[in-house]
Amino acid sequence: MSTEIATLTVIFWYGILHAFGPDHLTAIADFSIGKEAKKTFLSVGAFAIGHGMMLFLFAKILEHYTIPEAVLAYGDSIASCVIIFIGIYLLTMVYTNKIHLRSHLHEGKKHVHIWFGDEHKHEYAGTSAFSVGILMGIGGVRGMLVTLGVLHGQAVDLSMILAFVLGVMGVFFAFGLVVLWINKDILTNIKNVRRVFAAVGTLSVLVGGNMLLA
């Protein structure tokens, strides 16, 4: 196995381990709960791409400039705050009755639509998965860059980031299947919808708060 392939393999497996972080899985649940299959997986993919792009950007910056470790540590705080704010938003939607559900039959199949906001508007004001991926990428900078060796002068190319994103996507898509099952089989009535969003919102606040205090 060549050195390049070995390096990409290590980065791919790092992407898998990185994706299992509770903050990442919580973020995916936040913007995938209540969406249809296509939107769920598009959100998962957008999150992974945004995450990888931000890490690639920081990698390139650090090839030319030295950023103190203490400054990079602020990225973790930013990621924590993103998770907390999303959780607070979901909890606010639940307790102000701003989450709605409507079902109908289409070609003999039951379709469920969930949206936030005013009941009559029927629109989903969900969080942008790509934007969250970018913000969360700031929080993963230190661990990712140490793995790539950037802090020790090793250049980073796009193939490394692609290997990382593929590893992340593998876990995210698998978790997306779990979310899809919840969307299809559990979010069938408004009571369950509010319970699930309340649980996800609470989990976001707890995970983000724990990261912030760690």
The DSSP code sequence of 108-135 is: TEEEEEEEES-TTT----PPPHHHHHHH
Residue 202: what pLDDT?
94
Residue 123: what pLDDT?
47
Q: What is the pTM of this model?
A: 0.78
Alpha helices by DSSP H, the chain: 3-19, 22-32, 37-64, 69-95, 129-139, 141-148, 158-185, 190-213
Instruction: Dig out the tokens for 99 from the structure.
Output: 């989450």
List, run by run, the mean pLDDT of 10-residue segments along the chain (214 residues).
Answer: 73 83 82 80 85 77 71 76 90 88 66 68 58 78 59 64 85 88 85 91 92 79
CA dihedral 184, 190, 196, 198 (to 10 degrees): 160
Alpha carbons 54 and 79: distance in angstroms, whole number:
12
Which residue carries 């606040």 as its tokens?
205
Tell which residue, 47, 94, 40, has the closest CA to residue 202: 94
